[in-house]
Structure 1
Amino acid sequence: MAQEDGNIATLAVDIGGSGVKVMVLNEDGTPRTERSRVETPQPPKPEPIIAAIATLAAGQGKFDRVSLGFPGVVQNGIIKTAVNLDPDWINFDLATVLSQKLDKPVRVANDADIQGFGAISGHGVELVVTLGTGFGSALFVNGKLVPNLELGHHEFRKGQTYEEQLGRAALDDVGKKKWNERLEKAIASLEHLFNYDRLYIGGGNTDRIAINLPPNVKIVPNVTGLLGGIALWCN
């Protein structure tokens, strides 16, 4: 086993619509290495993305196991939806294929779920949304995940979904000011819908947020999407 001071090392991987990121974590979830990133290969099909993960992993040193966050619904390591990547991902057994590629055990979950594991307190109703290429979401009740929420593809306003109104394409189309106005409306809508105790906002577009957030809303750093990966091996 590739251990250091008795620690089992976990390679945390985050696949996004614009970037693929990796980092090695100690057994307690603290970073052992610096984060590495490459642009998501285009077209974003399984083979080139898996090759990119293998290349990044080779530069991270030794590790014993892998946690991977994927932007879509994941069931038993198999991809069920991949709206912002490529249709070739549908029904792709990512856990098995990557395990064979890296010769390590692999666990795969939705990327927003993993970010949530890295952000939540574990008390009360906690909602996580990610603002990136798409609009990710995860809901936790007293630290327990409510699976397969996929809130981004539900109708939000004007006949459009949260993702259509707040994804990266929308930001580029309507600009920062209008996008922030939409975000403010979304936060109010989500609070009425879920009556959450806390809302965490992550993802690559959090640096575009220019509104005053309510006291129970917190922006979390992108690295949380990697740090939360340790939770996949805690049960």
Structure 2
Amino acid sequence: MSQPTTGLGIDIGGSGIKGAPVDLDSGEFLRERIKILTPEESSPAAVTDIVARISDHFPETARGPVGITFPGVVQNGTIHTSANLDESWVGTDARALFTEAVGRPVRVLNDADAAALAESRYGAAKGVRGTVLMTTLGTGIGTALVVDGRLVPNTEFGHLEVDGHDAESRASSGAKERDGLSYSEWVNERLQRYYRVIEDLVWPDLIVVGGGVSRKAHKFLPLLDLRTPIVPAILRNTAGSVGAALAAAQGLEVP
């Protein structure tokens, strides 16, 4: 059986839930994506309702694969951590929940893992050998490792303890906005330290930076002093949706 050429990707985040049909040959959206704000009460029921609404918005994808990301550890479709959504997600079988909501099987994976798959297939890490570290800077910090083209799932390096703090509580772009930091203050006081710690931990050959703030990469990436090449994600904030659709089409259920 040949691999599907289109799929639906839905990216669940702490601030918004986004989805679009994806051309799996090019990694591009086939229609303008829809974004719905993540509800303040981000319970499984509330988020699943939005997932169903997004799926219904694209009836042309009804027979195709569906991939859905989650900002936390996902093993065999079950959520094990939920730092930026309601804690009631922990222990939830998201695969079963979403499958029922959209009326067909889905693939569920960590949001940064999905972004890394997309960047490795279509974006900044395409053709790169060795170890690629993906970091998504947003409400929190998502991370993913791809080694010689193979994903190492659920790394969660955004929750490393750095200088006595959970890393994302100080170094995410959400923390930058919360604390009113300029780009130079964010880099010099927080982001530089975070990336130095993580590159000493995994010794990557390339770091790719995604998330919403990657649109302004020229304002902060040149300020970093690292031994590892660091570049913005080419797919920017679409990588999660694209990678989710790709994972579903490939039949990947990240362990």
Aligned to 2:48: 50
Q: Match of 1:196, SS?
A: coil
Output the CA distance in 2 between the equivalents of 1:141 and 1:202. Answer: 18
Contact residue 73 and residue 150 of structure 1 kept, 8 A: yes
Q: Match of 1:140, SS?
A: strand
TM alignment of 1:84-233, pairs within 5 A: 84-120=84-120, 121=126, 122-157=128-163, 159-171=164-176, 172-176=178-182, 177-181=184-188, 182-207=190-215, 209=217, 210-211=219-220, 212=222, 216-220=229-233, 221-229=236-244, 230-233=246-249
Output the CA distance in 1 between the equivalents of 2:153 and 2:35. Answer: 28
Which structure exhibits the higher relative contact order, with contacts defined as CA atoms closer than 8 Å and separated by 6 or more residues?
A: 2
Contact residue 139 and residue 175 of structure 2 kept, 8 A: no
Q: How much does 1:38 deviate?
A: 1.0
Output the CA distance in 2 between the equivalents of 1:231 and 1:7. Answer: 11
Output the CA distance in 2 between the equivalents of 1:125 and 1:93. Answer: 31
Question: So what's the TM-score if we normalise by structure 2?
Answer: 0.83
Q: How much does 1:57 deviate?
A: 1.9
TM alignment of 1:48-87, pairs within 5 A: 48-63=46-61, 64-87=64-87
What do residues 26-73 of structure 1 show as CA deviations (whole Å, max 9, x unaligned)?
Answer: 343442222110111111111111111211222223212210110000
Question: So what's the TM-score if we normalise by structure 1?
Answer: 0.90
Q: How many residues align?
A: 229
Contact residue 65 and residue 248 of structure 2 kept, 8 A: no
Output the CA distance in 1 between the equivalents of 2:89 and 2:216. Answer: 30
Letter in 2 for 1:89: W
> Structure 1 stretch 190-199 or stretch 127-136: which is displaced more?
190-199
Aligned to 2:9: 12
Letter in 1 for 2:47: I
Q: Percent same amino acid among aligned pairs?
A: 34
What do residues 146-167 of structure 1 show as CA deviations (whole Å, max 9, x unaligned)?
Answer: 222111111122x112111113
Contact residue 139 and residue 149 of structure 1 kept, 8 A: yes
Q: How much does 1:88 deviate?
A: 1.0
Contact residue 106 and residue 248 of structure 2 kept, 8 A: no
- In the TM superposition, structure 1's runs of 4+ consecutive aligned residues that sit over 3 Å from their partners are 6-9
Output the CA distance in 2 between the equivalents of 1:19 and 1:119. Answer: 21
Q: Match of 2:179, SS?
A: helix
Output the CA distance in 1 between the equivalents of 2:16 and 2:10. Answer: 11
Letter in 2 for 1:218: V
Q: Which has the higher helix share?
A: 2
Q: Match of 1:123, SS?
A: coil
Output the CA distance in 2 between the equivalents of 1:152 and 1:53. Answer: 25
Output the CA distance in 2 between the equivalents of 1:43 and 1:148. Answer: 25
Output the CA distance in 1 between the equivalents of 2:97 and 2:197. Answer: 40
Output the CA distance in 1 between the equivalents of 2:214 and 2:153. Answer: 24
